[in-house]
Amino acid sequence: METGSNHKTRAAWYAFLFASLASSMSTADPLHPFGNEGAWRHEYSGWQFAKQVGGFSRELAPYTIDGNDDAGVSYEYASSGPRITAIVEIYLADSAAPDATLDGARASAARKAGDSAHAQAEQPFRVDAREAVRGIKITYAADGTPTGAQTSLYFFEASRWTVKVLGSTDSASDDTGKVLDAFVQALPWKTLGDPAALH
């Protein structure tokens, strides 16, 4: 027969266990491996960070941003030509991260482009796979160097998420611009807002 003391001890133990499980669930890692092709899934938006996208290869596993539920990853273009890289980041709508807003993303892109660079072009950018996603493309480069380094910011807003792509190349041309545009189009947009994602 269980005494009152043992009953209280057991009840306290169950309460502690429940609190621990609830805490671990609420602070669960927002990134997990997904499928058999090396993808990682952002559990809050459903976005899949694929291993290969439009000629680009993911360099490392995705990372969380500032220790919160936002996530990103870096890709590099597999070519013998100019080096082209792209950073893809997903932010929750209520994120406090600076780059979750267009102004913050602009500031980051300008810093990456360097002191001598400024925005040369700004235009809407439509994602064919997700017509409801509104996007903008801003290109930064230094004056008088049409074939020099160039940085391109692609910024998209959906109902509950923001997607930022920051592409850069050390030798800009029409071709490198088309490569980055094609990469952005090829991203797994249809996974954004997966109904199985955490909300």
Return the CATH number at 139: 3.40.1000
Is position 171 within any domain? yes
Is position 3 within any domain? no
Phi and psi at residue 6, to the nearest 5°: -65, -40
Is position 111 within any domain? yes
Based on the structure, what is the number of domains in the chain? Answer: 1
Is position 116 within any domain? yes
Cα 126 from Cα 41, distance rounded (Å)? 24
Cα 78 from Cα 85, distance rounded (Å)? 10
Model confidence at 198, pLDDT cuts 50, 70, 90, reads low
Token pair in block for residue 19? 């609190």
Domain span at 69: 29-191
Is position 108 within any domain? yes
pTM for the structure as a whole = 0.81
Cα 121 from Cα 35, distance rounded (Å)? 38
Weakest-pLDDT range from 22-36, 112-126, 169-183: 22-36
Is position 106 within any domain? yes
CA angle, 117 as apex, 111 and 122 as ends, to 5°?
90
Q: Are 123 and 134 in contact (CB under 8 A)?
A: no
The pLDDT of residue 8 is 53
Helical spans, DSSP H, in the chain: 4-26, 102-113, 174-186
Q: β-pairing, 39-42 with 48-49?
A: antiparallel
Mean pLDDT for 117-146 is 82
Is position 199 within any domain? no
Among residues 132, 121, 120, the alpha carbon closest in space to that of 160 is found at: 132
Cα 61 from Cα 37, distance rounded (Å)? 13
Among residues 175, 132, 134, the alpha carbon closest in space to that of 154 is found at: 134
Model confidence at 113, pLDDT cuts 50, 70, 90, reads confident
Is position 6 within any domain? no
- Type of residue at 122: E
Mean pLDDT for 41-69 is 92
Q: What is the DSSP letter of 78?
A: -
The pLDDT of residue 14 is 42
The pLDDT of residue 122 is 92
Distance of CA 93 to the CA centre of its chain: 13
Distance of CA 47 to the CA centre of its chain: 8
The pLDDT of residue 86 is 96
Cα 46 from Cα 188, distance rounded (Å)? 10
State yes or no: pLDDT of 133 exceeds 70.
yes
Weakest-pLDDT range from 5-9, 26-30, 58-62, 174-178: 5-9
Cα 15 from Cα 32, distance rounded (Å)? 28
